A and B are shown apart, each in its own frame.
Chain A
Amino acid sequence: MNVFRAVLLRDLRVAFRRWSELAHPLIFFVIVVTLFPLALSPTAAQLREVGVGVLWVATLLSSLLALDGLFRGDADDGSLEQLLLSPAPMTITVLAKVTAHALVTLVPLICLVPLSAYTFNIPVAALPTLAAALLLAAPTLSVLVALGAALTVSLRRGGSIVGLLVLPLTAPLLIFGTRATDLSVNGEPTAAPLLLLGALAALAVSLGPLAIAAAVKVGLE
């Protein structure tokens, strides 16, 4: 666990050194969320209908933006190879990096959601479920984004392909997350999709780092 903490703290420190870059995904989120109503010119009721979906899609897209910070920065200056060569198990290192990404990118995004939910006329009663669904989806999302980053780490222009790889894999998160929120807007019990999100998170966190570490290793060969 020492390794975990060390890598986590290091990644957090590196991220905050360029704190202006941390704002990029957040600004992107706000822009995307604003573009939809601009394009659709919806009525108040329509706004509520599309709101949940728009928020989720915007979250997914915004989480892709901080990709480079995960592996490419370290790959470029050689520290990723050092991490690979060190006696610390790569899966733990990867887990720490994924956690750092989740804390730095996803948590601020999730904090933005209540305000955006308000603009979409989503009832306040549904907010706890929305927040819970997002928090449960966050680990899986981070793992998937990290997997995309790891698979493309050795590509010079890997950025364009990552979305193509990662976004389809996030479809289940989208389906269950919006379902949970829609159920809660209608006042129905939301246990099922939330539990599914939780199960996905457990699966992703336990098996994901293995695949991610393998991808990094292969990428740097």
Chain B
Amino acid sequence: MKLPRWFHQLGSPPYVYRLADRLCPWLGWLGVSLLVVGAYWGLVIAPPDYQQGESYRIIYIHPQTAYIGMMSYVVMAIAAGIGYVWRLKLAHAVAVSAAPIGAWFTFCALFTGAVWGRPTWGTYWQWGDPRIMFEALLLFLFLGYLALRGAFDERDKADRVTAILAVVGVVNIPIVHYSVEWWNSIHQGPTILRAGGPAMTNDMLAPFLIMVAAFTLTFYWLLLRRLQGEIVEREGDARWIRELVGAGTP
């Protein structure tokens, strides 16, 4: 099977680096704009919820950060898996870049969730609640990945060992998602991805989805910038890097 040219190009660090340079401005500006629009819509324009009042507005950031955290992990696990099987340094670079971003977004999800839980359920934290526990586990998986990575001296070995950890941990993602369906949880069930369509009126659904798009674009901007740094670090003094930094004294 003849693979398209762009597929092979994705394995080339200089190509990906330059692609990132071209994509980032779009991702960045579009992402920021959508964040501003979505936040304003969610905080100012959208009407208050008849049950939860004003605190429901956290719905425009909490599920989004949780979703990005989980998506980061999947990106990390797939990239690490590809890097492990096909020995692609670039894939490992993607995994490494996704990890800290995912950790931060998961932290945000836990924080915004706790803050939302207080006025809604009366408690910041519920030990034993499956979704909260497994989301916390996700944060620990990210931290464990980063810690294990840092413990190795050789980057190659660090890549491959942490790839195994990343792939093993991916089983947590569906568990977090389905935890509200499998167990009794104080967390509500799925509001968007359910049979029968979203259980939200359009004036709330619009900012919700805008924020999903906004955070997604922001995630990819962050990923690509980190990836660029990672690529430069790994390529060392390769010729294209030297040309990139406008090398040396004449």
When the two chains form the complex, which single residue of A155, A161, A175 contacts B128, counting CB atoms closer than 8 Å?
Answer: A175
Q: Within 8 Å CB of A221, what residues of B? A: 157, 160
Q: Is the pair B151, A164 in contact by a Cβ cutoff of 8 Å?
A: no
Q: Given A151-B148, A152-B148, A211-B167, does the pair A168, B157 have CB atoms closer than 8 Å? A: no
User: C-beta contact mask, A122-166 vs B, less than 8 Å → 1, else 0?
Assistant: 000000000000000000000000010001101100100100110
Q: Which residues of B contact A214 (CB under 8 A)?
A: 164
**A50 interfacial by beta-carbon distance below 8 Å:** no
Q: Which residue of A lies closest to B156 (CB)?
A: A221
Within 8 Å by CB of B144, from A168, A215, A218, lies A168
Which chain A positions have C-beta within 8 A of B169?
A: 169
CB distance from A152 to the nearest CB of B (A): 7
User: Which of chain B's residues have a CB closer than 8 A to the CB of A171?
Assistant: 133, 137
A161 CA / B128 CA spacing, docked (Å)? 25
Tell me which residues across on chain A come within 8 A of B130, comparing CB atoms: 175
Q: Please indicate the chain A residues that have their CB under 8 angstroms from the CB of B137 in the complex.
A: 168-169, 171
Verify A175–B133 contact, CB threshold 8 A.
yes
- Are the C-beta atoms of B151 and A161 separated by less than 8 Å? yes
> B interface, how many residues as a size bin?
20 to 34
| A175 and B137 alpha carbons, distance in the complex (Å) | 12
Q: Which residues of B contact A215 (CB under 8 A)?
A: 161, 164
Does the CB pair A147–B147 fall under 8 Å? no
A151-B147 in contact given A168-B140, A175-B133, A218-B160 (Cβ < 8 Å): no
Nearest chain B CB to A81 CB, angstrom units = 15
Decide if the interface of chain B is mainly helix, strand, loop or mixed.
helix
Distance between A5 CB and nearest chain B CB, rounded to angstroms: 27
Enumerate chain B residues within 8 angstroms of A169, measured Cβ to Cβ: 137, 141, 169
B143 adjacent to chain A (CB < 8 Å)? yes
How far is it, in angstroms, between the C-alpha of A158 and the C-alpha of B151 when the chains are bound? Answer: 8
| A161 and B147 form a contact (CB under 8 A) | yes
Q: Cβ of B186 < 8 Å from any Cβ of A? A: no
Q: Which residues of B contact A211 (CB under 8 A)?
A: 164, 167-168
Max chain B C-beta neighbours (<10 A), residue from A161, A171, A218, A219: A218
Q: Which residues of A contact B140 (CB under 8 A)?
A: 164, 168
Chain B hits for A155, CB < 8 A: 151-152
Contacts of B161 in A (CB 8 A): 151, 154, 215, 218-219
A165: chain B residues at CB < 8 Å are: 144, 147-148, 165
Select from chain B the residue with minimum beta-carbon distance to A167.
Answer: B140
What's the minimum C-beta distance from B190 to chain A, rounded to whole angstroms?
A: 21
Question: Shortest CB–CB separation between residue B95 and chain A, in angstroms?
Answer: 15
A43 to chain B, nearest CB (A): 21
Q: Which residue of chain A is the closest to B128 with respect to CB atoms?
A: A175
Bound CA span A171–B171, Å:
14
- How far is it, in angstroms, between the C-alpha of A191 and the C-alpha of B168 when the chains are bound? 27
Complex formed: what's the CA distance from A152 to B168 in Å? 15
Q: Is the CB of A164 within 8 A of B143?
A: yes
B30 to chain A, nearest CB (A): 36
* Binary CB contact string for chain A from 158 to 189 against chain B (1 if under 8 A, 0 otherwise): 10010011001101100100010000000000
A214, B80: Cα distance in complex, Å? 14
* Candidates B133, B144, B157; contact of A219 at CB < 8 Å: B157
Contacts of B160 in A (CB 8 A): 218, 221
Residue contact A164 to B157, C-beta cutoff 8 Å = no
Contact of B157 (CB < 8 Å), options: A158, A161, A175, A218? A218
Chain B residues with CB under 8 A of A175: 128, 130, 133
Q: How far is the CB of B234 from chain A (nearest CB, A)?
A: 18
Q: How far is the CA of A152 from the CA of B151 in the complex (A)?
A: 9
Of all A-B residue pairs in the complex, the 7 with the closest CB atoms, nearest first, are: A168-B140, A218-B160, A165-B144, A215-B164, A211-B168, A168-B137, A155-B151
Interchain Cβ contacts under 8 Å between A and B, 28 examples = A147-B168, A151-B148, A151-B161, A151-B164, A151-B165, A154-B152, A154-B157, A154-B161, A155-B152, A158-B151, A164-B140, A164-B143, A164-B144, A164-B147, A165-B148, A169-B141, A171-B137, A175-B133, A211-B164, A211-B167, A215-B161, A215-B164, A218-B157, A218-B160, A219-B157, A219-B161, A221-B157, A221-B160
